[in-house]
Chains A and B, each alone.
Chain A
Amino acid sequence: AQSVTQLDSHVSVSEGTPVLLRCNYSSSYSPSLFWYVQHPNKGLQLLLKYTSAATLVKGINGFEAEFKKSETSFHLTKPSAHMSDAAEYFCVVSAIQGAQKLVFGQGTRLTINP
């Protein structure tokens, strides 16, 4: 079975400093991996996705993630945090090869300090 573990439930950074949200996955085959962002009482917005193409994936709003098979990781980064980045972030893996079920991590709450 596929699973994903977000290593930090809460990350707090200062505005203008780098952001790192950590995610490790477990999969019996080459997975599809996603990062989604959720603002309070809102739906989910796709930040980026990895689907076995380039291992460094660039997303929206300056975010990017690197797929590292040897480390089974897919960490999300951003060089400089903005106040509007404060939200909940979910690392997600596709559950079954070729199917459409998603398995969500527990989420990381990102707080930006002024």
Chain B
Amino acid sequence: GAVVSQHPSWVICKSGTSVKIECRSLDFQATTMFWYRQFPKQSLMLMATSNEGSKATYEQGVEKDKFLINHASLTLSTLTVTSAHPEDSSFYICSSARGPYGYTFGSGTRLTVV
């Protein structure tokens, strides 16, 4: 079946540094990848949609310069949290769509900024 591998599963970084999260589609080509953010005990909020070879589309209120998304190939999409601060601490999840009704989620990345 379709598998999306997300790394790292957890990361602790110092305030002011940048962190990169990778999502790889292992057995299919992911033309579209979705990035979500989830605060403790809350639902998933869509941050941005990335399409291979083009600029990502960000949801309202999401800082595109803070959350850099790159989707340079059909199997890899990355989210870089730049100049991270404690308020960026969260659970980040990627998802890839296969056709209109098939979605595969990564296992998530727990980011803690200290």
Listed in ascending order, the chain A residues whose CB lies under 8 Å from chain B are 32, 34, 36, 41-46, 49, 51, 90, 94, 98-102, 104-107, 109
Contact = CB atoms under 8 A, between A and B. Distances in A.
23 contacts: A32-B100, A34-B103, A41-B9, A41-B108, A41-B110, A43-B93, A44-B44, A44-B93, A44-B95, A44-B105, A45-B105, A51-B101, A90-B43, A94-B101, A100-B32, A100-B34, A100-B97, A102-B46, A102-B95, A102-B103, A106-B43, A107-B41, A107-B42
Interface string B100-114: 110101111010000
A49 B100 CA distance: 12
Contact of B6 (A43, A46, A107): A43
Contacts of A105: 43
A42 B108 contact: yes
A36 B91 CA distance: 17
A9 to B, nearest CB: 9
B89 interface: no
A107 to B, nearest CB: 5
Nearest to A99: B100
A48 B59 CA distance: 27
Contacts of A101: 34, 46, 49
B106 A43 contact: yes
Contacts of B108: 41-43
Interface in B30-85: 32, 34, 41-46, 49
B25 to A, nearest CB: 14
A70 B101 CA distance: 23
Contacts of B10: 41
B101 A107 contact: no
A99 B99 CA distance: 9
Given A44-B105, A51-B101, A98-B100, A90 B44 contact: yes
Of the candidates A90, A104, A106, the one having the most CB atoms from chain B within 10 angstroms of its own CB is A104
A91 B6 CA distance: 23
Nearest to B36: A104
A101 B6 CA distance: 20
